Amino acid sequence: MRVEILHASKYGNGEQVAKELQHVLSSKGAQASVHHIDEVKAGQLPPADLYVFGSPTRMGKPPGGVRRFAKKVDLPSGTKYAIFATHGAPQPDKKTGKMPTAEEIAKWQRTTSILDEVLQANGLTKVADTIVYVTGLKGPLDEGWQSKVEAFAERILGRS
């Protein structure tokens, strides 16, 4: 299986996830390449069996550059894709100390749903998605992130 991993990392967290995903997929027999979206043209992506799009989250959404890139993706209808997003880890309210509810968290974690809408409008077929938490604005990634990437790779390869 040939996999192209395209990310838009600003502080290096998404790139770290993309490279770990490449490593895991390669160790399981897949051919995987990693590219920052600034290095490739959305309308001329290298051929692959599956495309993985990685995005940071800004104010609950993918940054504008990621959305514009996704809208320009020109792949045959039915092409398979997966998404990973990096999100700030949920934190307790500074005044009350209470953790946000699932509904409040969902309000600030719309990256995958927004990208799904755009990519599916282009005729692509979703295989899997995952969220990897970042503990601070610029990182580091949350403890145990490698196991999330491993499970994501298993779903991509259809082994779970």
Calculate mean pLDDT across residues 45-57. 97
Question: What is the domain extent for residue 54?
Answer: 2-156
Give burial (CB, 10 Å; 0-12/13-18/19+) of 72: middle
**Regarding beta strands 50-56 and 2-7, do their DSSP bridges make them parallel or antiparallel, or are they unpaired?**
parallel
**58-100: pLDDT as tens digits:** 989 999 999 999 999 999 999 999 999 999 999 899 999 999 9
Domain count along the chain:
1
Cβ atoms of 58 and 88 closer than 8 Å: no
pLDDT for position 107: 85
Q: What is the DSSP annotation of 13-40?
A: HHHHHHHHHHHHHHHTT-EEEEEEGGGS
Q: Per-residue confidence at 106, pLDDT binned at 50, 70, 90?
A: confident
pTM for this one?
A: 0.94
CATH number of the domain residue 105 falls in:
3.40.50.360
Distance CA 133, CA 25 (A): 21
pLDDT exceeds cutoff 70 at 160: no
Distance CA 153, CA 160 (A): 9
